[in-house]
Amino acid sequence: MTPSYLWTQQLRPIYDKAVDLYRQGNRDLESYFTPEETSFLTSIGLRPINLYDYAEDLVNYGEPEWNTVLLIVAARRDYFLYHQHEVTANTVTNAAELPPKPEELDGIPWLPRIIAKATCFLKGGLCHEIMYGCGGDRRFLKEHDIHPADFLRMVWATEGDHGKILTFVRNTKA
């Protein structure tokens, strides 16, 4: 695929459609997107569940809003295009494989879990039950004053090195 100058303009109506369908009470993910829309999502490294999850949380919790979703998706898209060379991970990480929610890294709860989730999201390998940017992730990232997309890019840049990510988190905390 050649990266498209207009990919963000293609994504926005698909995202808006997902939000509208969720607001209307539609919970049938299979009915959300046309084959063309699904193909476009696939071309930027996403699965339909990714937009469904963001629409669900926006409707239910008021976040993440469009700008945050766009930045998160841009990080995933860049990883998919330029690191994975348009090949998504062929394994899916299930919820039980993630570090438990209370697990700590150097006294910081949730950090091992969000590192694992970010890594899996970047690779396109999170199961349907797990979302990068969920309420727990947002709470953690707000507490440490880190934008979700910045955290993704740090995980990518450090290749998931827990020590480097720990330093990043410690240096950004307000």
pLDDT tens-digit series, residues 62-107: 999 999 999 999 999 999 999 999 998 888 999 999 999 999 999 9
**Same structural domain for residues 18 and 95?**
no
Strands (E), 15-156: 104-105, 108-109
Do 69 and 94 fall into the same domain? no
Cα–Cα distances in Å, from 16 out to 22, 70, 112, 139? 10, 12, 32, 24
Instruction: Say if residue 18 is in the same domain as residue 35.
Output: yes
Note the pTM of the prediction, 2 decimals: 0.94
Q: Are residues 61 and 99 in the same domain?
A: no
Domain that holds residue 68: 1-88
What H or E segment, with its residue span, contains residue 61?
helix 48-61
* Last residue within a domain, chosen from 44, 60, 88: 88
Give the total number of structural domains in the chain: 2
Residues 94 and 83 both lie in one domain: no
What's the confidence (pLDDT) of residue 3?
A: 57
